[in-house]
Amino acid sequence: MAADSFLPFTRPSIDEDTITGVAEVLRSGWITSGPKVKEFEAELSRLCAGRPVRCLNSGTAALEIGLRVAGVGPGDEVITTPLSWVATSSMVLELGARPAFVDIDPETRNIDLARVEAAITKKTKAILPVYLAGLPVDLDRLYAIAGKHKLRVVEDAAQALGSSWKGKRIGSRGDLVAFSFHANKNLTTAEGGAIVLPGEGDIALTEKLRLMGVTRFGDDGMDVDVVGGKFNLTDVAARIGLGQLKRLAEFTDRRRALARRYFERFDRNLGCGLPPADFENSNWHMFQVVLPERIKRGDFIAKMRELGIAIGVHYPAIHLFSLYRSLGWREGQYPHAERIGRSIATLPLFPAMADTDVERVCEAARRVLR
Ligand SMILES: Cc1ncc(COP(=O)(O)O)c(C=O)c1O
């Protein structure tokens, strides 16, 4: 990328083979869910140690279906983090349940597992951790807590395809795991998602929830015994995903290399909090710094934009949105999430970025923050 061009904080890498493949799907006469979705599901399942995977049209749908398969419904509580994309907790609300927020660990920026047990009540049905920026929580500890209290787990791994925990890929173990393939994710289908299931027994319900509760039998039989959504992925999208999947390892390696470069080049005297330097588990979906309190994030973003660099915001604390305030949450309840939600800034990081782009970002940050 030329040094003087505007640098987005992310950009998908779609290759010519994928574009050709999408054109073939469009010409094939079968453009919605069909053979390409099945092929994509089989490839994703291979990536997840052979566990059943069903594709959906968003990560949000994966969360909704995951929570429903886990049996979450009206009156239940689901333990989750206030520092995420709002879909995480809003899907809990959508099902008539209530999110039970637990503050984050300010180092990892993920839910603080040390505080989870204190949040468990008789109404708790599930734990819904989020792997912010692709950094997972300690899965051994998470599942030990869930096992001890007989809770289901829905992993919001929307950002964590290609991440792992102790050498095991996210999705290859555990309970229900939700991925997103939104345009900004490490693997995209433009919009899309997938749910990894703990066993074959959950497939039928998942497929019904994905498409209007419908079960088909024989040549002309159809029944509906549950209210489902319209959550199926198209073959057009699945073909993009297949092209992306071939390059997932390459994309992850490139992101890791760029993240390493940020650690080498980012000025430690600017007062920013850097992410944990994790090169084992994280897929480096994002490189996020926490700005010092003396600088307003809006000013930082505007000044970086003047220097040709886009900065993302992922995310403000969910419980301070007006919807959540109207449901009883208030300032001061989750101080780490509130502080980091006010000051977190996503620096550019995507596979097609040049090494020199990292230097450009670090130099611009130095100029703006000094
Ligand atoms: C943590 C998290 N959860 C859920 C979602 C929802 O995924 P989608 O946008 O594919 O619906 C996202 C995507 O932005 C996310 O980052």
> Is residue 1 pLDDT above 80, yes or no?
no
CB distance 156 to ligand 1 below 6 Å: yes
Q: So what's the pLDDT on residue 4?
A: 61
Name the burial class of residue 199, with classes exposed (0-12), middle (13-18) and buried (19+) by CB atoms within 10 angstroms of its CB: exposed
> Is residue 11 pLDDT above 60, yes or no?
yes
Centre of ligand 1 from the C-alpha of residue 185, in Å: 9
Centre of ligand 1 from the C-alpha of residue 61, in Å: 9
Which whole number is the average pLDDT over 129-137? Answer: 98
Q: Which bin fits 213, alpha (ψ -120 to 50), beta or left (φ > 0)?
A: left
Which residue has its alpha carbon closest to ligand 1 atom 14? 85
Centre of ligand 1 from the C-alpha of residue 182, in Å: 7
Q: Per-residue pLDDT tens for 24-38?
A: 999 999 999 999 999
Centre of ligand 1 from the C-alpha of residue 363, in Å: 31
CB distance 87 to ligand 1 below 6 Å: yes
Cβ-based neighbours of 2, under 8 Å, separated by 6 or more: none
CB distance 180 to ligand 1 below 6 Å: yes
Instruction: Name the 3-class secondary structure at 163.
Output: coil
CB distance 158 to ligand 1 below 6 Å: yes
Q: How far apart are CA 71 and CA 80, in angstroms?
A: 16
In percent, how much of the chain has pLDDT > 90?
A: 99
Name the burial class of residue 186, with classes exposed (0-12), middle (13-18) and buried (19+) by CB atoms within 10 angstroms of its CB: buried
Which residue has its alpha carbon closest to ligand 1 atom 10? 59
Dihedral sign, Cα of residue 283, residue 284, residue 286, residue 291: positive
CB distance 351 to ligand 1 below 6 Å: no
> Closest ligand 1 atom to the C-alpha of 61?
11
How many C-beta neighbours within 10 Å does residue 243 have?
A: 22
Q: Per-residue pLDDT tens for 155-171?
A: 999 999 999 999 999 99
Residue with tokens 């600088």: 295
Q: Calculate the alpha carbon distances from 232 to 89, 160, 187, 244, 306 in Å.
A: 22, 21, 18, 19, 41
The count of C-alpha atoms lying within 13 angstroms of the C-alpha of 45, restricted to the half-sphere facing its C-beta, is 17
Centre of ligand 1 from the C-alpha of residue 4, in Å: 32
CB distance 151 to ligand 1 below 6 Å: no
Give the residue, out of 67, 85, 91, with the most ligand 1 atoms within 8 A of its beta carbon, to mutate for a pocket test.
85
Of the candidates 36, 122, 125, 185, the residue annotated as catalytic is 185
Q: How far apart are CA 175 and CA 70, in angstroms?
A: 9
> Is residue 123 pLDDT above 90, yes or no?
yes
Q: Write the DSSP symbol of residue 105.
A: P
Q: Per-residue pLDDT tens for 319-366?
A: 999 999 999 999 999 999 999 999 999 999 999 999 999 999 999 999
Q: Per-residue pLDDT tens for 303-313?
A: 999 999 999 99
First to last CA, the chain: 26
Which residue has its alpha carbon closest to ligand 1 atom 12? 158
Q: What's the mean per-residue pLDDT of the chain? A: 97
Bridge partners of 326, per DSSP, are: none
Q: How far apart are CA 73 and CA 68, in angstroms?
A: 7
Q: How far apart are CA 87 and CA 315, in angstroms?
A: 12
Centre of ligand 1 from the C-alpha of residue 320, in Å: 19
Q: Per-residue pLDDT tens for 177-220?
A: 999 999 999 999 999 999 999 999 999 999 999 999 999 999 99
> Is residue 2 pLDDT above 80, yes or no?
no
Active site residue 185: yes
Give the DSSP per-residue string, 331-346. Answer: TTSSHHHHHHHHHEEE
* Confidence label for 315 from pLDDT (cuts 50, 70 and 90): very high
Phi, psi of 331 (to 5 degrees): -60, 145
CB distance 59 to ligand 1 below 6 Å: yes
